[in-house]
Copies of this chain bind each other. A is one copy, B any other.
Amino acid sequence: MLNVDVLIIGGSAAGLVAAITAKSNNPDKSVMLVRKEEKVMIPCGIPYIFGTIGTSDKNILPDGGLKNLGVEIRIDEITDVDAEKKLAKTASGEEIAYDKLVFATGSSPVIPQWLKGTDLKNVFTILKDKNYLDSLYHAFEGLKKIVLVGAGFIGVEVADELNKKGFDVTVIEIMPRILGLAFDDEFAAPVGETLEARGVKVRTGVGIQEILGDAKVTGVQLDNGEKLDADAVILSLGYRPNTSLARNSGFSINEYGFIVTDQYKRTSKPDHFAVGDCSEKRDFLTGKLSRIMLASTACAEARVAGLNLFSLSTICTFRGTIGIYSTCIGETACGVAGLNEATAKSEGFDVVTASFTGVDTHPGCLDCSQKQTVKLIVSKKNGVILGGETLGGRSVGELTNVIGFAIQNGMTVNDLLVAQIGTHPLLTASPAGYPLIKAAEIAAKALKNA
């Protein structure tokens, strides 16, 4: 029997960061990370192995940080957890006694049970597994037409990358827009247009009814009666938390299927934590249960768990999940932090919104200049920033984080009006026309008149 102080189950972003935080803050404790995969995929990099990166071999989450700290890595699968005895069993027959345990078991692609044809050859998901992705990559060789079902971030990014590789790619999305959950229409629309201009066929407002074929995919039947030919189908319909181990071991699971956790990421059983996609999320602004799964959120949660394993620190609690996303199709990037307008309204916030479009350099005539738009979603009651959306060149990735910090710090429109920002001709919009601050100005006026 093995004996460790801390046992981490899962080796993707959450497990990695939990292990590093645990070990580096408790160097005298032994930390073991057990994962199924020999090599772990960088999760957000997966869409890019199909085109930009070109191979999964260059998209590996490095083990160096763990090894240098002295975290023991085991390639195995935990099949049983006895939370009372603090004893885990592995598929290879190992028994591991532990003091603290962290579930970081991640998430798996959703395959709708009602959908016919999901077991046909050349029907795939974007499973976060190197061997699977390699097999998928090779299965595409010689194929022409690929249909992606679901136009969230993963679907859109994979579609663009496969299109880049010369496939004939169609994206099917039941919502009226691609990226429709994350973005308000005016931000999703230009990304969709860019995607189409690059050659991806985008079919929104229509669902899939059935995957057609006999042993092998030949097409898809849409819910409007139409049929599309297809040599392969990729289902990118979201992910569900991997919680069967925790569920079977008697841990509380919430109504959305996540392992119940508190602010310190402690589960329903003492000394057992859960972080990342498998663990409960609550919205930062409403405190409501949330389904957001993000590697960046997972890492923040993993740090919280790692810092609070052996004694609680009141200052290192997780105050809830802020969705902060960005993506990039060609040279068009966009991002969102917090609530978009549609979500804010459906949550019951009375909001004003304000948008400003400027240019991301100053002057705006440089070869690298791109338009930049910022939209703010603001509480009408108190001017607090509930969310923001960005559209522009590649600098909007970090600009979205500026807005994320505004939200995390409870900044109001008035705070933004007098906020100081740094600007540079080649790197940012101008100080007099910085879209984030200009949007705040417009919001301030709207609040005054509201």
> Interface of A with B (CB < 8 Å)?
13, 16-17, 21, 24-25, 42, 44-45, 47-48, 52-53, 58-61, 284, 294-300, 303-304, 307, 313, 315-319, 321-322, 324-328, 333, 335, 337, 362-363, 365-366, 394-402, 404-406, 408-409, 411-412, 414, 417-428, 430-432, 434, 437, 441, 445, 448
Q: How far is the CA of A362 from the CA of B425 in the complex (A)?
A: 26
* CB<8 Å pairs between A and B, sample of 20: A44-B362, A48-B366, A52-B426, A284-B420, A294-B431, A295-B432, A296-B421, A296-B431, A296-B434, A299-B437, A303-B418, A313-B414, A324-B421, A326-B422, A328-B424, A335-B427, A397-B423, A398-B401, A402-B402, A405-B411
Question: Which B-chain residue is minimally distant from A324 (CB atoms)?
Answer: B422
A402-B401, A422-B326, A422-B397 given; A299·B431 CB < 8 A: yes
Contacts of A397 in B (CB 8 A): 395, 398, 422-424, 426-428
Copies in the complex: 2
Contact call A53/B424, Cβ cutoff below 8 A: no
A296-B421, A316-B414, A327-B424 given; A363·B398 CB < 8 A: no
Query: How near does chain B come to A379, taking the closest CB pair, in angstroms?
Result: 15
Contacts of A299 in B (CB 8 A): 431-432, 434, 437
Contacts of A317 in B (CB 8 A): 418
Contact call B303/A423, Cβ cutoff below 8 A: no
Contact call B296/A328, Cβ cutoff below 8 A: no
Contacts of A21 in B (CB 8 A): 441
Query: How near does chain B come to A339, taking the closest CB pair, in angstroms?
Result: 14
Contact call B401/A421, Cβ cutoff below 8 A: yes
Contact call A423/B307, Cβ cutoff below 8 A: no
Contacts of A363 in B (CB 8 A): 42, 45, 53, 58-60
Contacts of A424 in B (CB 8 A): 44, 325-328, 333, 335, 397
Most chain B C-beta atoms within 10 Å of own C-beta, residue among A304, A326, A397? A397
Contacts of A362 in B (CB 8 A): 42, 44-45
Query: How near does chain B come to A28, taking the closest CB pair, in angstroms?
Result: 14
Q: How far is the CA of A430 from the CA of B434 in the complex (A)?
A: 26
Contact call A337/B422, Cβ cutoff below 8 A: yes
A44-B424, A295-B423 given; A366·B52 CB < 8 A: yes
Contact call B322/A420, Cβ cutoff below 8 A: yes
Contact call B427/A328, Cβ cutoff below 8 A: yes
Contact call B295/A326, Cβ cutoff below 8 A: no
Question: Which B-chain residue is minimally distant from A60 (CB atoms)?
Answer: B363
A17-B432, A395-B397, A405-B409 given; A325·B422 CB < 8 A: yes
Query: How near does chain B come to A426, taking the closest CB pair, in angstroms?
Result: 5
Question: Which B-chain residue is minimally distant from A284 (CB atoms)?
Answer: B420
Query: How near does chain B come to A61, taking the closest CB pair, in angstroms?
Result: 7
Query: How near does chain B come to A231, taking the closest CB pair, in angstroms?
Result: 27
Contacts of A52 in B (CB 8 A): 366, 426
Contact call B366/A316, Cβ cutoff below 8 A: no
Query: How near does chain B come to A411, taking the closest CB pair, in angstroms?
Result: 7
